Structure 1
Amino acid sequence: MGKVIRLRHALPLSQDINKALADLDSAIAKAVSAAKAVGLPQGLVVSLLHGHAQVQTNVMVG
């Protein structure tokens, strides 16, 4: 778990981190909106997001 950073110990966050978080949030929101607009079932959207979150968790703790 040496790659995991506790944000509460890194506060205040740098402008680069804040921008990266805002960009990530915006990209996810746009992708979800686009998927819903073409009729992708909401459960599939949730399962894909959960799957990616699980993989990233495994990367962080692995």
Structure 2
Amino acid sequence: MRNVTNIRHALPLPAEVGAATGKLDDALVQAIKDAKAAGLPQGLIVSLLHGHAHHQTGIMVN
């Protein structure tokens, strides 16, 4: 876990990071709205998001 960075030590964050975070958040919100509108069950949406988060966490710590 030597590659994990604590972002409290990197503050203040550059404007590009804030902009990218905002775009990511907006894209996630829109994708969730689209999935709900398509009739996907909420539990499936949550499980997909959780699975991706778990996978990305595994990548970060290895």
**Range into which the TM-score falls when normalised by the shorter chain:** over 0.9
Off by >3 Å, runs of 4+ in structure 1: none
- Offset from partner CA, 1:7-36 (integer Å, 9 cap, x none): 110111101110111011000000000000
Q: Using the alignment, how far apart are the partners of 2:18 and 2:9 within structure 1?
A: 15
TM-score by length of 1: 0.93
Partner of 1:52: 52
How far did 1:38 drift? Answer: 1.0
TM-score by length of 2: 0.93
Structure 1 spans left out of the alignment, 5+ residues: none
Q: Using the alignment, how far apart are the partners of 1:4 and 1:14 within structure 2?
A: 19
Aligned residues: 62
- Offset from partner CA, 1:28-61 (integer Å, 9 cap, x none): 0000000001110000000000000000000000
Structure 2 spans left out of the alignment, 5+ residues: none
Q: Secondary structure at the match of 2:5?
A: coil
How far did 1:2 drift? Answer: 3.2
Which AA in structure 2 matches 1:40? L
